[in-house]
Amino acid sequence: MDLTSKIILVTGGGSGIGFELARQLVALGNTVVICGRDAGRLAEAARLTGAQPITGDVTVADDQERILSAIREQHGRLDLLINNAGIFLAYDFRSDPGALQKIEAEIAINATAPLTLTRRALPLLEKSAQPGVLFIGSGIAFVASPGTPIYSGTKALIHHCAQTLRHQLQPHGITVFEAMPPVVDTDMASVLKSDNFKKMKPSDLVRDILEGMRRNQTEMLLGQSRQIKLMSRIAPAFLFRQFAKTEFH
């Protein structure tokens, strides 16, 4: 996929991997719209990257419509939707007093929102000459991680849906990509206490994702995610025990 002169929406573009995606994609000559809930953080990210900010919560249907309407009015089409926004919650399912809200929030942001936003964006994507959707999944899609009781399940769901949507949308000219990062050095990963994870730099991760997309590699296993997938096939119980040892702040 050519990654120049495109109209691109990056959800969660105010920080971390989304910020870096926006930065590198603007530098390649694309028009990038970023969205997120924190207006101040988003404005600062827009100033630093050259992206266009639209404040909005991807779990809210009206916000999804408003973001897409703004793109329709300003640009008339969408070439690439990057579903990146996400949260990662470590807690005890039984004893955490906020568990009910956390379950709902994590599924809404990580699983439901990328799918409903993609569905709502189809008419705009179909106006593009070379449309694409990129899901930012995770290598943890291949192993259940007990310390974050819901997170790995949301990424497993995205991994399955990326495959089913790729199959359904390809005949309509829409390419569905999925990038599965390892642990990446962002705010999200700062809750990890264990230092047995090598944290990838966001700039290296995004460089590899964009290179993969240019080569039309639709399923991208980045860094240690490749080993996680392999281990999930040859030694799943060992892999699960390793992840069960993960400690969090």
Ligand X SMILES: NC(=O)c1ccc[n+]([C@@H]2O[C@H](COP(=O)([O-])OP(=O)(O)OC[C@H]3O[C@@H](n4cnc5c(N)ncnc54)[C@H](OP(=O)(O)O)[C@@H]3O)[C@@H](O)[C@H]2O)c1
Residue ranges binding ligand X (CB under 6 A): 11-12, 14-18, 35-38, 41, 57-59, 84-88, 109, 136, 138, 181, 183-184, 186-189
> Any idea which residue has 């991994």 for tokens?
159
Under 8 Å between Cβ of 193 and 235? no
CA-CA distance, 16 to 82, in Å (whole number)? 14
Strand pairing report for 80-83 and 132-136:
parallel
Rounded distance, CA 115 to CA 100, Å? 22
Residue nearest to ligand X (CB): 16
Q: How far is the CB of 215 from ligand X (least distance, A)?
A: 21
The secondary element (H helix, E strand) that includes residue 177 is: strand 175-180
CB of 59 to ligand X, least distance (A): 5
For the four alpha carbons of 47, 185, 79 and 76, in that order, the dihedral sign comes to: negative
Nearer Cβ to ligand X (115/126):
115
Q: Name which of 4 and 37 has its Cβ closer to ligand X.
A: 37
Looking at the Cβ atoms of 61 and 126, the one nearer to ligand X is 61
Task: Report the alpha-carbon distance of residue 173 to residue 16 in Å, rounded.
Answer: 30
Quickly count: other Cβ atoms within 10 Å of residue 7's Cβ.
Answer: 20
- The phi and psi torsions of 29 (rounded to 5 degrees) equal 95, 20
Number of Cβ within 10 Å of residue 70's Cβ equals 16
Q: Which is nearer to ligand X, 169 or 192 (CB)?
A: 192
Name the minimum Å distance from CB 114 to ligand X: 8
CB of 5 to ligand X, least distance (A): 25
Shorter beta-carbon distance to ligand X: residue 187 or 195 = 187
Query: How far apart, in whole angstroms, are the C-alpha atoms of residue 8 and residue 221?
Result: 22
In the bound state with ligand X, the residue whose beta carbon lies nearer, of 126 and 188, is: 188
How does strand 175-180 pair with strand 7-11?
unpaired
If the CB atoms of residues 128 and 246 are measured against ligand X, the closer one turns out to be 246
Give the chain's radius of gyration (CA, Å): 17
CB of 235 to ligand X, least distance (A): 21
User: Measured from the CB of residue 186, what is the shortest distance to ligand X in angstroms?
Assistant: 3
- Least Å distance, CB 135 to ligand X, is 9
